[in-house]
Structure formats: C-alpha cells, structure tokens
C-alpha cells in the first residue's frame, strides 16, 4: 500500500507514540505562523494530542500570544 505524502514531509520524522503516563507539562507561546501541526511536529507529539490536552478542536484557530501545554522535555527557544 502506498500513501501519498505532502512534498518535503518525511515519515521518519513522524512523532513516536507517547506512553499514557507521560503528560504535557511545559508551555509554549504561539508565534505568528504557528499551527498545531508545526508545534506538534517540533515537540514530537501528534496534533490530535496537543488539541486534546489543550481543550481545542483540531481545526481550531490559534493566535499569537496564546499559551498552550506542550511536552516539558524540550523547550523551544527562538
């Protein structure tokens, strides 16, 4: 079975499943241009997990300055 992917997306970078005991303990401030998908990819979680943990729908609009919960293991610095 072949499933087409978006150009430039590599499946080897798809986030691994997290164990049920792990929680989202850190926070991240939304920057202009961020999407749930891009944030999830950076923190190696699924967009569905981010949306669920933050009480959002998967297609929710996120705004710059908004704070969401993310995995506490890795802090994003810009």
What contacts 37, CB < 8 A, 6 or more positions away?
A: 47
Going by pLDDT thresholds of 50, 70 and 90, the confidence category of residue 71 is confident
The pLDDT tens digits of the residues spanning 10-33 come to: 544 444 445 444 566 789 999 999
pLDDT of residue 48: 93
Higher pLDDT: 20 or 7? It is 7
67 DSSP β-pair partners: 29
Quick check: pTM over 0.85?
no
């Amino acid at each position: 079975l072949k499933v087409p992917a978006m150009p430039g997306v590599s499946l080897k970078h798809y986030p691994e499943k997290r164990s049920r005991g792990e929680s989202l303990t850190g926070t991240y401030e939304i920057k202009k241009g961020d999407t749930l998908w891009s944030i999830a990819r950076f923190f190696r979680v699924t967009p569905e997990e981010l949306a669920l943990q933050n009480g959002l729908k998967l297609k929710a609009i996120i705004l710059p300055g908004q704070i969401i919960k993310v995995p506490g293991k890795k802090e994003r610095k810009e």
